Amino acid sequence: MSTTTKSYKDEQGKPIDQKLYRSMIGSLLYLMASRPDILFSVLLCARIQASLKESHLLAIKRIFKYLAYTPLLGLWYPRNSSFDLHTYSDADFGGYKLDRKSTSGTCQFLGNMLTSWFSKK
């Protein structure tokens, strides 16, 4: 999913089962701990919880298809690495076009290994 993609409300689509959508989002949220490559896409889809349409479900299925074709990607921490701690953060104040809320995030690296991250709207 492109980083310039904004979540959207689909007024014309066919409604879907909210329980199915939320269970799929829950599975992906659990998996994000070891797969930071899906972090942005999952959080973008998780923002939409009301008036779910078929287009939203297709976005979730696209993430699952990506996971099926990239099973070897994930976090890996080798034994012989340095212990230099680096922290990065970023904020987008009011950049979300639908409700003008801010988004911020941070990540911490121990050597060249990602140890912690978060993103919050």
Per-residue burial over 33-63, b = 16 or more CB atoms within 10 Å of its CB, e = otherwise: eebeebbbbbbbbbebeeebbeebbebbeeb
Residue in the block written with tokens 């479900």: 57
Domain around 32: 18-69
6, part of any domain: no
Number of structural domains the chain divides into: 2
Is residue 23 located within the same domain as residue 65? Answer: yes
Question: What confidence tier does 74 reach under pLDDT thresholds 50, 70, 90?
Answer: confident
Residue with tokens 């490559």: 37
Q: Which residue has the higher pLDDT, 79 or 28?
A: 28
Per-residue model confidence as pLDDT tens digits over 26-51: 999 888 877 878 888 888 888 888 78
Q: What is the pLDDT of residues 58-73, one digit of tens each?
A: 989 999 999 999 988 8
Average pLDDT, the chain: 82
